[in-house]
């Protein structure tokens, strides 16, 4: 397995453990709809939370969360809308980003709640 894939999987495991430790209930991991993928879907109280996990081995080129640009946000929102429709859910929805830097044995986690807000008409 390529190093970046191994690092990404490790980051998602760390993020899931972090979220569970905060009381989130993990509902799905790596949920796919067409070409869209949601890394983690969880419940935080009444909120259905769609979590994007970004992992890097350093922050030399910036923080991992900075890689979540407008295009990526739209893909996440489109995948979230598909999930909500497919599962016939009516929960309030939130979008979080968990940004992780794994540098040797040191791990830094930055959890951004409500990291972005989709506007009306951004689902297409």
Q: Are 40 and 22 in contact (CB under 8 A)?
A: no
Tell whether 124 is covered by a domain.
Answer: no
Does residue 117 form part of some domain? no
Residue 121 lies in a domain: no
Domain membership flag for residue 63: yes
The pLDDT assigned to 104 comes to 85
The verdict on residue 92 lying in a domain is: yes
The proportion of the chain whose per-residue pLDDT surpasses 90, expressed as a percent, equals: 73
Q: Which of 50, 35, 38, 40 is nearest to 16 (CA)?
A: 40
- Can you give the pLDDT at residue 1? 61
Residue 120 belongs to a domain:
no
- Asked, for residue 122, whether it belongs to a domain, the answer is no
16: domain CATH number is 3.40.1350.10
Question: Which residue stretches of the chain have pLDDT < 50?
Answer: 120-124
Strand partners, 112: 97
- Note the pLDDT of residue 119: 61
For 36, the domain range is 3-112
pLDDT at residue 100, as a whole number = 96
Instruction: Note whether residue 11 is domain-resident.
Output: yes
Give 48-112 as a DSSP string: EEEEEEEEES-STTS-GGGG--HHHHHHHHHHHHHHHHHHT---EEEEEEEEEEEETTEEEEEEE
Determine the pLDDT at residue 124: 41
Distance CA 81, CA 87 (A): 10
Total domain count, the chain: 1
């Amino acid at each position: 397995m390529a190093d970046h894939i191994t690092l990404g999987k490790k980051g998602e495991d760390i993020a899931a453990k972090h979220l569970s430790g905060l009381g989130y209930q993990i509902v799905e991991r790596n949920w796919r709809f067409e070409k869209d993928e949601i890394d983690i879907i969880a419940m935080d109280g009444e909120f259905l939370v769609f979590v994007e996990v970004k992992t890097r081995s350093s922050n030399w080129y910036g923080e991992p969360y900075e890689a979540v640009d407008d295009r990526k946000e739209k893909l996440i929102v489109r995948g979230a809308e598909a999930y909500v429709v497919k599962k016939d859910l009516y929960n309030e929805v939130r979008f979080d980003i968990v940004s992780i830097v794994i540098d040797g044995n040191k791990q830094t986690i930055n959890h951004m709640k409500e990291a972005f807000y989709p506007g009306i008409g951004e689902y297409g």
